[in-house]
Amino acid sequence: MRARALSLLVPALGGLFLLGGCLKRSKLAETYVLDPVAARDAASPSQAPEAVVGVLRVTVPGWIDRPQVTGRSSTGQVRTDESARWGEPIARGVQRVVAENLAALLPTRRIVVAPFSPHEVVHHRVDITLSEAARQADGSVLVDARWALLGPSGATLVQRRSSHRAHPTAAGSAGAVTGASEAIAELSREIAAALRALPLASAENAQPGH
């Protein structure tokens, strides 16, 4: 009986040791969010905004739209970091950060994000589609986007394709997130410059948001 008990106990203890080793080696996932870099030195917003700018929902490719922070290899392979997670859906994070950047860069405009209130009068809409937003094999972070500015009636007033690259010093996913924030800030500055060049739409011609 004693020998049989020992024969049963040894595998059980071995299993516990293996489980303990796995638990010890496992790493808790870190959570990241994008940072509105351009908003760090924000000017005070105008008490009487000249116009309302609405940031539409951002479109991102499926390989980026996932919980893990992703990167690209030199062969185009998508690499996911299971120990680094987004604290919010990446499309929503980009929309939020662009809106906060624009609010800082355009203090005389009021910035809102979609979905808009049915009674909100939106003079210009910003439509962004990302095709790339990840760390590259050389360590840089590349953000490629097609974006457009839409007028009060929905007509396209400006349409461009932009590419911005950041070179963060931090390694791993922390650097990837920092670089993405910096590149999106540059994209926001480009969009802000285009908005400044547009004539202000009259309230009579603006359409309620949806």
pLDDT tens, residue by residue, 40-75 = 876 666 677 889 999 999 999 999 999 999 999 888
pLDDT bucket at 148, cuts 50 / 70 / 90? very high
- How far apart are the C-alpha atoms of 172 and 136, rounded to whole Å? 11
pLDDT bucket at 102, cuts 50 / 70 / 90? very high
Q: Using N-to-C axis directions, what is the helix angle for 90-105 and 172-197, rounded to 10°?
A: 50
| DSSP one-letter string for 64-121 | TSSSEEEEE-TTS-EEEEEEEEESS-HHHHHHHHHHHHHHHH-TTEEEEESSPPTT-E
Mean pLDDT computed over every residue of the chain: 85
Instruction: For 180, list phi and psi in degrees, rounded to 5.
Output: -60, -40
CATH topology for 29-208? Answer: Rossmann fold (3.40.50)
Which tokens is 170 given? 């931090």
What DSSP element (H or E) covers 209?
none
